[in-house]
Copies of this chain bind each other. A is one copy, B any other.
């Protein structure tokens, strides 16, 4: 136990948790993609620079999907060069070979593909079946790997689907293995509608391990729709997970998923990890200041409880 500095929790480690966690920061991509009013490219670049300055080492920068799908990220080719010099990993979403051409031209070194576990969401998000989407990604992943590019595979709707209800664990395992088999370096298990609870998380992780997917290749991506994200994160850490997705200030959600109100806020995650003595490299004060700055640009307060508490915003 140590005396806390102002604005930081007391540090009291718990047994059997990882010493270090890598936060995969998604605020600049997942967090901003559904903003209706265009955020200026320079503001996005400054956001990413500030996130890097706060100590985040993996900052998802943007997406190379077709501009009509996600108009907010249509400036990807202009944005990426503005941040490419930062000494951090800057993954970019790449759905197909044409997007990979653009990524290679930009010098991108990390990409992500985004599969769905459920047919309903594959149809809604990609206008394809689950297997058609996997078939679309396979040559992209193969080519990226041949170029020495690190590939993340997102899986949406791993714990429940707004149209289909429950999602059997064996279906998540099947898609996970397919993505690993095609060459993904890591997975991100998304609870897109935020319904997961800790036992469900640990069961899925155990099943994946039994089917040959190592915990070291698994990241978790929880939403706070039902307030469960941080408890689920604790359950994942107890299983050995060391990669956790979060969004600065709790920005974002998913427009195609009913009630998907909000990614896990990076600040709330960092508060817990800092209290547990788990190293993230993140300066919570700088990160909070960044989210307050971004909230000013977006014209509404951050939904992160930690940001509100530390900046004394009204809830």
**Chain A residues near B (Cβ < 8 Å):** 1, 3-4, 6, 9-10, 12-14, 159-160, 165-166, 168-169, 194-200, 202-203, 224-228, 230-231, 233-235, 258-259, 261-262, 265, 268, 271-272, 274-277, 303-306, 308-309, 312, 315
Least CB distance from A69 to B in Å reads 24
Least CB distance from A140 to B in Å reads 32
| Main SS at interface, chain A | loop
Least CB distance from A307 to B in Å reads 10
Can you pick out 11 interface pairs between chain A and chain B where the beta carbons lie within 8 Å of each other?
A4-B165, A10-B160, A14-B198, A197-B276, A198-B276, A200-B275, A226-B268, A226-B306, A226-B309, A227-B230, A230-B230
Known: A169-B1, A194-B309, A271-B226. A200 touches B6 (CB 8 A): no
Query: A258: nearest residue on chain B (CB-CB)?
Result: B312
Cα distance, A306 to B159, chains bound together (Å): 16
Cα distance, A1 to B171, chains bound together (Å): 14
Query: Contacts of A9 on B, CB cut-off 8 Å?
Result: 160, 195-197, 200, 226
Are B14 and A235 neighbours in the complex by a CB distance under 8 Å? Answer: yes
Query: A230: nearest residue on chain B (CB-CB)?
Result: B231
Query: A197: nearest residue on chain B (CB-CB)?
Result: B275
